[in-house]
Amino acid sequence: MSVEERSAARLAIVQALYQMEVAGKGLNEIYAEFEVHWIGREIEGVQYKPAELQFFRDIVKGVLDNQATIDRALDQALQGGWPLQRIESVMRAILRAGGFELGFRRDIPVKVVIKEYVDVAGAFFGATESGMINAVLDRLARQARPEHFAEK
């Protein structure tokens, strides 16, 4: 597993979660579509990088299995009473994936999770939206892993 393959997997995870939400595709259909047609392939002149497939599968399934818990935590982390359901769907996919990693994948450092998903946000949005992703994931990390932020 390389850093680049994990980064590519995170981008694919967000795209897969987005497609599942807007197109209503199921888990096995998404696995097949991404693993056969997207990851590591060229589509319409765009080369998609190779990605760590097991990580892709683990995170997508983890988000689906824990979505209610993740969504509740994200609703708490969003400021001003702005519910997750009012957030744009790609941003929601980014927040859910980052939320899963922060809450359920303690083997991945907080800073890595936040930086990676801010980078993914940068592939779709501008600085304002990336900053919002950064702020929400930081608040979520403080809820999910308070020991990481304790004074030393």
> How many domains, the chain?
1
Q: pLDDT exceeding 70 applies to what percent of the chain?
A: 89
CATH number where 34 lies: 1.10.940.10
150 located within any domain: no
Residue 122 lies in a domain: yes
pLDDT score of 122: 94
Write the burial class of residue 52 (CB in 10 Å: 0-12 exposed, 13-18 middle, 19+ buried).
buried
> Which structural domain range is residue 109 located in?
3-145
**pLDDT per residue as tens digits for the range 127-146:** 999 999 999 999 999 999 98
Using alpha carbons only, what angle is made at residue 106 by residues 99 and 117, rounded to the nearest 5 degrees?
Answer: 40
Cβ atoms of residues 77 and 140 within 8 Å? yes
What integer pLDDT is reported at residue 70 of this predicted model? 96
- pLDDT given for residue 65 in this prediction: 97
| CA dist list (Å): 26 to 6, 19, 64, 90, 118 | 23, 9, 10, 17, 26
Output the six-digit token pair for 33: 């579509």
Q: What is the pLDDT of residues 80-131, one digit of tens each?
A: 767 788 889 999 999 999 999 999 999 999 999 999 999 999 999 999 999 9
d(CA 42, CA 18): 20
| Token reading at 149 | 């932020």
Whether the per-residue pLDDT at 39 is higher than 90: the answer is: no
On the question of pLDDT at 49 being above 90, the answer is no
Residue 151 falls inside a structural domain: no
Record the pTM. Answer: 0.91
Would you say residue 78 lies in a domain?
yes
Residue 152 lies in a domain: no
Q: Indicate whether 14 pLDDT > 60.
A: yes
